[in-house]
């Protein structure tokens, strides 16, 4: 009962997405299984910190990264904060817990040249999948959209005349993102190709497979990886790197940080500032080249 109430709280009060709530519930179920098998307890409501600590140790021994462990503990912490709020527990056993140390991930964006090669030098055939794949890449790079946001785009999300796309982001927060003329042109071609599909199962979805069903995240990842493997030697080639490239290239060209924050759908400026690392490096180059007292 407490778990169902917690789920309702996340969905209705915190306005978390169904995907996020599913991840929280999965973490809690994992912990519940551990407590049952290790301590023969049927409930995770009244547990102590040493029991949680033993779960953390088991996760690390299983090979999970500190980042993954911290995410699971965050789910657990949110659950106990909820129980405290509704009066089901007297104290949160994770009050004094300190997160495991994690190394900062440096995301290396694609260069502008690499993206130009993919969009202009590689051949996208005029088949449905060729046009769709190009549209996916253009949408990622021109809007900074997240992978799940792209997968969930509806036909009604697109306003071709106004050149905008309505994106449903985290916590069901909507934002309007402008579309470039080049994306509009590819979009019109895609919609025409989409209409030629013999069967369309998910008619309200914008992006479909050639079988007429909603596109899925692993396919989107494969598309990005496949095309960028032809143009880039970077180890990581994913939709998130394209989102990172979008933000970095805008900042390199002098875009306002707050404007980039809104385009990305971030709730705080701190989340956007992680993308300034590469733009600062670019600024240093400009400063060194242009300042009259710099050494030639």
Q: Is 243 a catalytic residue?
A: yes
* Catalytic residue selected from 146, 147, 249, 261: 146
Catalytic residue (choose from 79, 80, 227, 275): 275
Count the Cβ atoms, other than its own, within 10 Å of residue 95. 11
| CB atoms closer than 10 angstroms to residue 234 | 15
CB 189 within 8 A of CB 95: no
Catalytic position from the list 166, 170, 214, 234 = 170
Residue 107 backbone zone (phi > 0: left; psi -120 to 50: alpha; other: beta): beta
71 is catalytic: no
Are the C-beta atoms of residues 261 and 158 closer than 8 Å to each other?
no
Looking at residue 99, the DSSP 8-state letter turns out to be P
Active-site option among 72, 243, 249, 261 = 243
Active-site choice (132, 134, 194, 266): 266
216 is known as an active-site residue: no
Active site residue 175: no
Q: How far is CA 180 from CA 88, 94, 141, 187, in A?
A: 52, 48, 10, 10
Token look-up 């789920």 returns: 7
**φ and ψ of 202, to 5 deg:** -105, 80
Residues in CB range of 27: below 8 A, 6 or more apart: 71, 72, 75, 76
Q: Are 206 and 158 in contact (CB under 8 A)?
A: yes
Q: What are phi and psi of 9, to 5 degrees?
A: -65, -45
Enzyme catalytic residues: 146, 170, 240, 243, 266, 275
């Amino acid at each position: 009962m407490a778990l169902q109430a917690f789920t309702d709280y996340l969905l209705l009060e915190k306005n978390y997405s169904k995907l996020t709530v599913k991840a929280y519930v999965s973490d809690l179920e994992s912990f519940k299984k551990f407590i049952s098998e290790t301590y023969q307890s049927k409930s995770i409501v009244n547990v102590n910190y040493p029991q949680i600590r033993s779960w953390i140790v088991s996760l690390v021994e299983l090979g999970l990264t500190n980042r993954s462990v911290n995410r699971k503990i965050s789910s657990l912490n949110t659950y106990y904060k909820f129980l405290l709020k509704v009066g089901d527990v007297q104290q949160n056993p994770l009050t004094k817990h300190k997160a495991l140390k994690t190394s900062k991930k440096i995301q290396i964006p694609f260069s502008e040249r690499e993206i130009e090669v993919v969009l202009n030098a590689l051949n996208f055939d005029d088949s449905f999948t060729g046009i769709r794949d190009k549209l996916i890449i253009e949408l990622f790079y021109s809007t900074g959209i997240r992978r799940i946001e792209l997968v969930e785009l509806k036909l009604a999300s697109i306003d071709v005349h106004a050149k905008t796309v309505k994106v449903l982001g985290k916590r069901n927060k909507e934002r309007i993102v402008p579309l470039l003329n080049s994306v509009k042109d590819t979009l019109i071609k895609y919609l025409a190709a989409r209409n030629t599909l013999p069967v369309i199962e998910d008619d309200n979805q914008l992006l479909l497979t050639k079988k007429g069903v909603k596109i899925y995240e692993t396919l989107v990842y494969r598309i990005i990886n496949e095309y960028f493997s032809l143009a880039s030697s970077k180890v990581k080639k994913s939709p998130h790197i394209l989102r990172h490239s979008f933000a970095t290239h805008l900042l390199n060209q002098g875009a306002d940080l707050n404007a980039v924050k809104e385009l990305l759908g971030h709730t705080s400026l701190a989340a956007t500032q992680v993308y300034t690392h590469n733009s600062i490096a670019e600024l240093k180059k400009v400063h060194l080249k242009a300042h009259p007292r710099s050494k030639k």
